[in-house]
Chain A
Amino acid sequence: MTLEVMARAEGPIALNLAFKVEPGELLALVGPSGSGKSTVLRTIAGLWTPTTACVRVGGETWLDTARKVSLSPHQRKLGMVFQSYALFPHLTAEANVMAAMTDQPKASRVPEARRLLDLVNLGGLRQRRPADLSGGQQQRVAVARALARNPKVLLLDEPFSAVDRATRDSLHGEIRALRAGLTMPIVLVTHDMNEAQMLADRLVVIDAGQMVTSGPTDEVMVDAAALRALGIREAGSALHARIAAHEADELTRLDTSAGPIWLPLIDAAPGAALLVRIMAHDIILSRQRPAGLSALNILAVTVVSIRTGDGPGALVTCRAGDEVILARITRRSARMLELAPGVSCHAILKSMSVARDHIGLTP
């Protein structure tokens, strides 16, 4: 079941975009706050209707303003996770999940609700009311509730922005693990580029209601227009790594196709697959392999492209093995180093510069 969305509106919220999400794919709508990301999600859910819009899921038309077709939200088989959790405060966790099962046979509701709460690691708190759950636990209930309807589309509206950072990290991990079993298109709205890069297969970048660009996450994250909308400080690449060993001095060695890197101890077993987000402004480039340097991670790379803008900076895209590494350096440095496509150099990364929430386990 593919989700197809087209929306156009003049005001009060201007919109102009169209995209598709394939089954099992996670698409993130990203952009500055107030760019209309949530409006797109609300359009899919039927909570808002733009002047001209079309929403199709599989062969079903949920909304087609041209043909005056518009299903109300409860008629659209979808699951939605809200930023504020929006749990029903008078119902227990289990009853919250069961509230979304009205079209399922009564006998199967309790076991199914329990299965879903176990899936989000909340099996022990089934009888608690939302007021007695932490933010992270409430959001887990909300995820279970969203899945309870066997939705054809799963919508996540800034689902992790109201919880603290540690909880967000673990929720990211759980979503990545959960995704293996999900076959419906998933749309995530977020302003957190780390979240988008760590979770999404594809990105749609929106600015002032207009679609700036869309494509696979790795490609969009090096796209000039996308970075203009998102802010150049968000430029970074996602490295695919596997834990090789935990070393005695509290470092973990990771194997990547670009070579080994060392990061502060990661709480996962050797062999575990990881995604590591390396920010472009954390990378130093050097033509010679440096000696006598404190940084532990020195990767041999080849320059693919150099892009300069109006400012003093240059964004250098490098390749190492199967990985792309982005480096944000000054134009002056690029000139002094005589960088050009095809030039070999070394990318240097301080182990300590990689933030904990930039490392995520992948199933």
Chain B
Amino acid sequence: MDWTAFFLSLRLAGLTVLILLPVAVFAGRFLAYRHFAAKSLIEAVVMLPLVLPPTVFGFYLLTGFGARSPIGQAWQAMFGQPLVFTFEGLLLASVIFNLPFAIQPTQRGFEAIPVQVREAAACCGLSPLRALWRIELPLAWPGLMTAMALTFAHTLGEFGIVLMVGGSIPGQTKTIAISIYDKVQGFDMQGAATMSAVLLAISLTTIMLTFWLSARAGRRLS
């Protein structure tokens, strides 16, 4: 059992969720309430990581973050280390490839709030921020929870992009999924089996917990 890889994965997944939570709330809310010409284009771009092969997506991130790219150079200048093949670069990639998992369910959550309920909040004197906190977030909660659970579980399981952008540096970018692959490559089937089982259990628990909480919230609201 590669505990280093295991905790690295948990840290990556946890931080990804933490960063994406506000992003999902504001982007999901914006896409749910507004109607504008470029909306379909933006929604399609957000969905891209779902349909592109991880290697293709990883390739673009690798070249986009690389030492010769503007982003890579700016990062190097600011923090004195490269963006690719570091934990920070992996986290940034993770945030980007999880955008659809975070934004889509959140957007659906906000879309499920009847327009008149939002208007009623305004007519009750609630400022937009207060309405978000007191009315909209509690109502969009099932969607938001699904988004965070999917993001968490998906980060644990992502392989292709992590390999492309992060390489396989122990303690830096070697996640549990990569570690399992390495174990199989090294004919350590026993180790791979243990870690696979752990990953399976965590993913299943996360999703089950979400479904259960979401159903409970749904019953409360209907």
Contact = CB atoms under 8 A, between A and B. Distances in A.
Contact of A84 (B114, B121, B139, B222): B114
Interface in A3-23: none
Contacts of B39: none
Contacts of B114: 84, 86
Interface stretch (B53-61, B90-98, B126-134): B126-134
A63 to B, nearest CB: 14
Contacts of B138: 90
B123 interface: yes
A149 B124 contact: yes
B116 interface: yes
B117 interface: yes
Contact of B117 (A72, A88, A102, A148): A88
Contacts, number: 72
A73 B122 CA distance: 6
A87 B126 CA distance: 14
A116 interface: no
Binding site secondary structure of chain A: loop
B135 interface: yes
Contact of B139 (A79, A80, A89, A146): A89
Contact of B222 (A87, A103, A131): A131
B120 interface: yes
A78 B122 CA distance: 10
B35 interface: no
A79 B222 contact: no
A13 B144 CA distance: 36
B221 interface: yes
Nearest to A80: B123
Contacts of B125: 74, 77, 100, 102-103, 149
Contact of A88 (B120, B122, B127): B120
B124 A100 contact: yes
A99 interface: yes
A86 B117 contact: yes
Nearest to B122: A73
A45 interface: yes
B119 interface: yes
Nearest to B119: A47
Interface string A76-109: 0111101110111110000000011011000000
Interface string B63-89: 000000000000000000000000000
Nearest to A89: B221
Interface string A51-75: 0000000000000000000001110
Given A74-B127, A90-B220, A99-B134, A47 B122 contact: yes
A82 B131 CA distance: 17
Interface of B: 114, 116-117, 119-128, 130-131, 134-135, 138-139, 220-222
14 contacts: A45-B123, A74-B124, A74-B127, A80-B119, A80-B123, A83-B116, A86-B116, A86-B120, A87-B117, A88-B117, A102-B130, A103-B125, A131-B222, A148-B124
